[in-house]
Amino acid sequence: MKATAIANANIALVKYWGKRDKKLVLPYNSSISMTLDGLSTVTTVEFSKKYEKDSIIINGKELVKDEKGILNHIERIRNLANIKEKSKIVSKSNFPIAAGLASSASGFAALTLAATKAAKLELNEKDLTILTRQGSGSASRSVCEGFVEWYKGDKDDGSDSYAESIVNKNHWNEFRMITAIVTKTEKKVSSRSGMAQTVNTCPYYKCWLETIDRDLELIRNGIKNRDFSSVGQTAEYNCLKMHALMITTKPPIIYWTPATMEIIDFVREQREEGIECYFTIDAGPNVIVMCLKKNEKKINKKLSELGGVMKTIICGPGDGAKIIDKHLF
């Protein structure tokens, strides 16, 4: 009863911010993302009678407190499979976790696939995204390849809130996201608690929901037609709207640092010089610069030379979650 899975992080082009149902992790709005081929998490899960209790080791460090709800998710999977065995979970990511780079997305996608396989559950992709969503909302998108939409759904039981690929990873393989890491420090306000604060206190949250459908339509059509200008402009503006919500939350949630602003200014300068690129930022200080393959080397070189940038990672559209043979223990 042992399995290992790998899943990639995803970065939202239309963001998800706010839950209508916290227990089932049902969002107020649908979202669209790109699954990244360069930022991944590998997770091995074993269920066995030899374990007296569940244990979780992430990047070599044993988790003492279950802040992310991993054990709740494992219990959910145990109940589905009708098994009692305790688990050992070992997980490794090749990028900073809890720093606004969708580590919980790749983490929960890999965890769910590995755990269901180890528990002998056979789920199709749709059902796997529904189950994964209950651990981490954005993780449902990391189950799928390429460009992905997670539907908010309308039903109270969450059966119509799932993720699926809009197009596969080969549809637009010229699209690039360059991750500019400005800090590896864990953020002080988690996405989970930040969303709840915003929904409860931000006076502009209703406006956000009123403009989302238009963003979704523009991004969805832009992806299908490979219209980089439309996708880039819409994604950048959607990102700014989300951070405006955070800033006007009580108390304010401000993830940006001087290095974040340095990259925003850099992207705008590049456009003025005729090099088309756009930025997006998840709930954290690190910035994603979107460009086409023809400009990736030029932009990456300049980006790497900025004082606040520690490291850059170039990503194209990537695979969905999959089972691999090499276990971590």
3-17, 181-195, 209-223, 252-266: the lowest-pLDDT one: 181-195
Question: What does pTM read for this prediction?
Answer: 0.95
Mapping DSSP onto H, E and C, the string for the chain reads CEEEEEEEEEEEEECCCCEEECCCCEECCCEEEEEEEEEEEEEEEEEECCCCCCEEEECCEECCCCCCCHHHHHHHHHHHHCCCCEEEEEEEECCCCCCCCCHHHHHHHHHHHHHHHHCCCCCCHHHHHHHHHCCCCCHHHHCCCCEEEECCCCCCCCCCCCEEEEECCCCCCCEEEEEEECCCCCCCCCHHHHHHHHHHHCCCHHHHHHHHHHHHHHHHHHHHCCCHHHHHHHHHHHHHHHHHHHHCCCCCCCCCCHHHHHHHHHHHHHHHCCCCCEEECCCCCCEEEEEEHHHHHHHHHHHHCCCCCCEEEEECECCCCEEECCCCC
Mean pLDDT (whole number) for 71-100: 89
Provide the pLDDT for residue 189: 86
Mean pLDDT (whole number) for 2-27: 97
Please write the tens of the pLDDT for every residue from 89-138.
999 998 766 544 557 899 999 999 999 999 999 999 999 999 999 999 99
70-84, 183-197, 281-295: the lowest-pLDDT one: 183-197
Provide the pLDDT for residue 259: 97
Above 60 in pLDDT, residue 46? yes
Please write the tens of the pLDDT for every residue from 250-306.
999 999 999 999 999 999 999 999 999 999 999 999 999 999 999 999 999 999 999
What domains can you pick out in the chain, each with its CATH number?
Answer: 2-172 (3.30.230.10), 175-315 (3.30.70.890)
Provide the pLDDT for residue 314: 96
Above 90 in pLDDT, residue 191? no
Provide the pLDDT for residue 186: 78
Higher pLDDT, 185 or 307: 307
Provide the pLDDT for residue 68: 78
Provide the pLDDT for residue 182: 93
Provide the pLDDT for residue 190: 85
37-46, 139-148, 163-172, 178-187: the lowest-pLDDT one: 178-187
Residue 141 pLDDT level (bands cut at 50, 70, 90): very high
Provide the pLDDT for residue 101: 53
Mean pLDDT (whole number) for 24-42: 96
Provide the pLDDT for residue 102: 54
